[in-house]
């Protein structure tokens, strides 16, 4: 059984898919070097208006088993990431636990999300803002299958409420709720270093045309505050140029 790289990638015809394809190709290259398989989730299970793809990805165990795919561990990773060719095989360091990277981004965004979901979804329970994980890099295995069933059932049973909170809170979709549910179900988490999910690099002033960030870590997440260079989209420029520098 191989480890799996599972990447949600839905082309919304908004032009961003061009950049994301560089991210996907980087993971295919890395998987080949590390004896893993890559699976692209490109067909929604239900309308995105009812359940965003970021929520639908938690059906991944159903998808793999319905396709008769054998697996050991699974990295669920966003398509707006590029992996460094020399990235260590993180699957060797999981200790069989649920793995993620602390969301070291906008603390205001995180706290506002916790406050809103606490108020409207989780009966005023709170979670510590300082150890919430980012949804864009999560490693799981068969022992987490029942937890993902709890996640998808919880969403479907509260779908209308989730859609409302997502709309007015402007704090993403699954990231804050998944942290609430991890705490609620007492899932033991192993926190990996920022180098495996280098998010919000613009805020940290490490993404610029000398490509300093490529010397500081292993997985680069192009998710916000990217510097504008020229007339093309920030996603496309940074993902293409990063890919070409590292993999070409």
pLDDT tens digit string along 134-192?
999 999 999 999 999 999 999 999 999 999 999 999 999 999 999 999 999 999 999 99
pLDDT, one tens digit per residue, over 179-194 is 999 999 999 999 999 9
Q: Is the pLDDT of residue 11 over 90?
A: no
Which residues are within 8 A (CB) of 115 and not within 5 positions of it... i.e. 6 or more apart? Answer: none
Q: Which residues, other chains included, contact 34 with Cβ-Cβ below 8 Å and sequence gap of 6+?
A: 3, 89, 91
Query: Is the pLDDT reported for residue 220 higher than 80?
Result: yes
Ramachandran angles phi, psi of 112, nearest 5°? -65, -40
Q: Summarize the chain as % helix, strand, coil (round to 5).
A: 45, 15, 40
Q: Residue 16 pLDDT > 90, yes or no?
A: no
- For the ranges 8-22, 26-40, 115-129, which has the lowest average pLDDT? 8-22
CB 41 within 8 A of CB 7: yes
Q: What is the pLDDT of residues 224-234, one digit of tens each?
A: 889 999 888 89
Q: Which two tokens stand for residue 79?
A: 């398509």
Say what the pTM is.
0.96
Closest CA to 211 of 183, 174, 184, 238: 238
Mean of all residue pLDDT scores within the chain: 95
Greater pLDDT, 17 or 201: 201
* CA-based nearest residue to 243, from 1, 29, 17, 73: 29
12 pLDDT exceeds 80? no
Neighbours of 241 (CB within 10 A): 15
> Residue 79's closest CA among 236, 244, 241, 246?
236
Summarised one tens digit per residue, pLDDT across range 47-79 is 999 999 999 999 999 999 999 999 999 999 999
CATH of span 3-247 = 3.90.550.10
Q: Which of 247, 238, 246 is nearest to 20 (CA)?
A: 238
Only one residue has tokens 């916790």, namely: 114
Contact between residue 174 and residue 159 where contact means Cβ atoms under 8 Å apart: no
Band of pLDDT at residue 216, cut at 50, 70 and 90: very high
Q: Is the pLDDT of residue 1 over 90?
A: no
pLDDT at 92 over 80: yes
User: To which residue do tokens 């000398």 refer?
Assistant: 210
Which of 6, 149, 2 is CA-nearest to residue 75? 6
């Amino acid at each position: 059984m191989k480890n799996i790289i599972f990447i949600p990638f839905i082309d919304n015809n908004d032009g961003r898919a061009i950049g994301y394809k560089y991210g996907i190709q980087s993971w295919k290259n890395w998987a080949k070097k590390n004896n893993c398989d890559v699976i692209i989730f490109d067909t929604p299970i239900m309308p995105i208006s009812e359940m965003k793809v970021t929520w639908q990805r938690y059906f991944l165990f159903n998808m793999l088993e319905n396709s008769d795919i054998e697996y050991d561990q699974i990295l669920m990773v966003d398509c707006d990431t590029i992996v460094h060719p020399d990235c260590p095989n993180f699957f060797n360091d999981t200790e069989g636990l649920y793995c993620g990277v602390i969301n070291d981004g906008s603390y205001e965004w995180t706290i506002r999300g916790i406050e809103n979901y606490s108020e409207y979804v989780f009966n005023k329970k709170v979670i510590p803002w300082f150890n919430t994980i980012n949804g864009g890099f999560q490693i799981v295995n068969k022992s987490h299958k029942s937890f993902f069933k709890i996640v998808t059932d919880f969403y479907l049973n509260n779908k209308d409420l989730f859609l409302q909170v997502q709309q007015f809170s402007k704090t993403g979709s699954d990231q804050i709720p998944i942290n609430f549910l991890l705490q609620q179900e007492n899932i033991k988490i192993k926190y990996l270093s920022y180098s495996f999910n280098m998010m919000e690099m613009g805020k940290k002033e490490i993404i610029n045309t000398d490509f300093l960030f490529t010397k500081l870590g292993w997985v680069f997440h192009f998710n916000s505050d990217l510097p504008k260079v020229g007339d093309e989209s920030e996603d496309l420029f940074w993902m293409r140029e990063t890919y070409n520098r590292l993999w070409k």
